[in-house]
């Protein structure tokens, strides 16, 4: 139902952030037009190929103290979890410098974690509610997430990260070797210790989930425009339309949630958002011979390992490169090799499988926080992008914040840390 104060709102982008924002904007009584050139939940989207983790413990940023010392080795290691395409390095160097500086001491990490907390709290409950409304509740489950280590010493090496989670109320349990064997019998005995985020969850099929949310939006009356947004029509500080390849879409408000395409649209609204393509890969092994109740994160691999309807999915890696650069499928082979080491009793079965490989570009800011809030050049345009590899966890809270800004209501939490204006400093 819309009211006399209802607005016509264009949401640009049908990834998980755009879809959740559209749902919350609808819930607030506004009319929504969803602008997306491709099928929601399709393979082109970063939301399609991730591990589907819904992680309330995703508080620490990637950049932690000491990274600057490790950076040369990490970036030069072609098989490491974090690498750069060297031909793209000159263009990425300013972003990398800010990225490393953002985590140069624990005080900065603590501030970042404090700002990430409101974006992650209650995320599993929110996704369960969306799934119920979309009639796909089995796609979202709360089974915890397990970080596995070769021994307690490897876990203790990350003690400050776990202490940060504890400080902010994130529940987790330590798991000794015998219990780990019971919980994950297929796992290699080389992993002898673990920590489980007890309240975390998983979207078991992110692509199908996004498609279901798009159908829910349509049932509720959202209009769908199958076209790419190329600009904004702003006159005297007020938004008149989103300029699409198919023509102008008249609207009174617009939400930019267009992944790596958000930077150009933000520039049209007066903001320079430093985005880099944090390119992630996945490999799916069909019919692996076992299933996982909870997602795994191996400390020596730094990727999500989950069971999906399509098979065992290993998703992760951080490759910084130009958006248009061809995939480096050696990154997917690294994931596959990790699967063979993690589940050695099934390696021969894996070798005989027909693998599915995928790559997607996650829009990342250098300081570990997304850009959320009104654009500098036009308050009718709202930013909602830059969530990197934690978009699934942060989408519901981002959506509620965006809906409150559009409706002129008190925000559910302080929006100032996410303003794109922070990059002017």
For residue 173, the model assigns a pLDDT of 97
Q: Residue 29: is its pLDDT beyond 50?
A: yes
Rounded average pLDDT over 190-211: 97
**CA–CA separation, 231 vs 272, rounded Å?**
15
Give the residue among 371, 255, 362, 259 at the shortest CA–CA distance from 22.
255
In whole angstroms, how large is the CA radius of gyration of the chain?
21
Q: Which helix H or strand E contains 43, and what residues bound it?
A: none
Confidence at residue 238, expressed as pLDDT on a 0 to 100 scale:
97
Closest CA to 393 of 80, 77, 20, 114: 20
d(CA 306, CA 93): 33
Tell me, what's the pLDDT at 397? 98
What is the pLDDT, as a whole number, of residue 408? 97
**What's the whole-number average pLDDT of the chain?**
94
- State the Cα–Cα distance between residues 394 and 17, nearest whole angstrom: 8
65 band by pLDDT with thresholds 50, 70 and 90: confident
Stretch among 157-161, 321-325, 344-348 having the lowest mean pLDDT: 321-325
The closest of 57, 6, 58 to 33, measured between CA atoms, is: 6
Helices (H), ranges, 347-422: 347-351, 391-407
Q: Tell me the average pLDDT across 357-375.
A: 97
For residue 91, is pLDDT > 60? yes
The b/e string for 379-395 (b: 16+ C-beta within 10 A; e otherwise) is: ebbbbbbbbbbbbbbbb
Q: Where are the alpha helices (DSSP H) in 175-248?
A: 177-183, 206-219
Mean pLDDT check: name the lowest of 3-17, 137-151, 284-298, 341-355: 3-17
**pLDDT value for 64:** 87
pLDDT number for residue 68: 64
Residue 184 burial (C-beta neighbours within 10 Å; 0-12, 13-18, 19+): buried
Residue ranges in 310-390 assigned as alpha helix (H): 330-342, 347-351
**H helix or E strand, kind and range, residue 76:** helix 67-76
Is the model's pLDDT at 301 over the cut of 80?
A: yes
Do 103 and 157 contact (CB within 8 A), yes or no? Answer: no
Burial of 351 (0-12, 13-18, 19+ CB in 10 A): exposed
Cα 230 to Cα 72, 119, 246, 269: the distances in Å are: 37, 29, 10, 12
158-81-120 Cα angle (round to 5): 60
Residue 193 — pLDDT band, cuts 50, 70, 90? very high
Ramachandran quadrant class, 270 (left: phi over 0; alpha: psi -120 to 50; beta: rest): left
* Overall average pLDDT of the 178-202 stretch: 97
Residue 63 pLDDT: 87
User: Is the model's pLDDT at 149 over the cut of 60?
Assistant: yes
For range 59-72, the mean pLDDT: 79
Kindly indicate the confidence band of residue 268, based on its pLDDT and cuts at 50, 70 and 90. Answer: very high
| Residue 333 exposure: Cα atoms within 13 Å on the Cβ side | 6
* Other CB atoms within 10 A of residue 94 CB: 12
* pLDDT category of residue 78 using cuts at 50, 70 and 90: low
pLDDT recorded at residue 89:
85
- pLDDT at position 3 is 47
* pTM summary value: 0.96
């Amino acid at each position: 139902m819309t009211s006399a104060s209802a607005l016509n709102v264009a949401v640009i982008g049908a990834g998980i952030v755009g879809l959740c924002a559209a749902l919350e904007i609808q819930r607030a009584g506004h009319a929504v037009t969803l602008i997306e050139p491709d099928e929601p939940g399709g393979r082109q989207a970063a939301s399609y190929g991730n591990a589907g983790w819904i992680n309330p413990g995703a508080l620490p940023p990637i950049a932690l103290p000491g990274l600057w010392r490790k950076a040369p080795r990490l970036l030069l290691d072609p098989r490491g979890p974090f690498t750069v395409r060297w031909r793209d390095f000159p263009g990425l160097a300013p972003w990398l410098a800010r990225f490393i500086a953002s985590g140069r001491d624990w005080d900065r990490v603590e501030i970042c974690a404090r700002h990430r907390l409101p974006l992650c709290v209650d995320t599993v409950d929110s996704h369960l509610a969306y799934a119920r409304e979309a009639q796909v509740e089995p796609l979202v489950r709360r089974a915890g997430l397990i970080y596995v280590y070769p021994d307690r010493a490897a876990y203790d090496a990350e003690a400050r990260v776990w202490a940060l989670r504890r400080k902010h109320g994130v529940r987790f349990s330590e798991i000794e070797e015998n219990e780990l064997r019971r919980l994950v019998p297929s796992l290699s005995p080389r992993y002898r210790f673990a920590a489980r985020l007890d309240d975390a969850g998983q979207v078991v099929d992110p692509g199908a989930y996004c498609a279901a949310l798009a159908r829910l939006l349509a049932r509720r009356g959202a209009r769908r425009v199958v076209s790419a947004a190329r600009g904004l029509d702003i006159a005297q500080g007020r938004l008149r339309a989103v300029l699409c390849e198919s023509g102008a879409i008249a609207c009174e408000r617009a939400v930019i949630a267009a992944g790596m395409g958000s930077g150009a649209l933000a520039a049209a609204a007066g903001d320079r958002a430093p985005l880099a393509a944090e390119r992630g890969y996945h490999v799916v092994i069909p019919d692996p011979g076992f299933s996982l109740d909870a997602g795994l994160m191996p400390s020596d691999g730094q990727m999500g390992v989950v069971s999906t309807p399509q098979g065992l999915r290993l998703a992760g890696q951080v490759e910084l490169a130009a958006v248009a650069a061809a995939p480096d499928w050696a990154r997917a082979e690294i994931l596959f090799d990790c699967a063979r080491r993690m589940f050695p009793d099934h390696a021969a079965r894996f070798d005989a499988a027909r693998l599915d490989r995928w790559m997607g570009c996650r829009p990342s800011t250098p300081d570990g926080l997304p850009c959320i809030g009104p654009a500098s050049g036009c308050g009718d345009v709202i930013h909602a992008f830059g969530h990197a590899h934690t978009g699934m966890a942060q989408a519901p809270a981002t959506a509620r914040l965006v809906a409150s800004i559009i409706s002129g209501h008190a925000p559910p939490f302080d929006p100032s840390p996410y303003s794109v204006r922070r990059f002017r400093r």
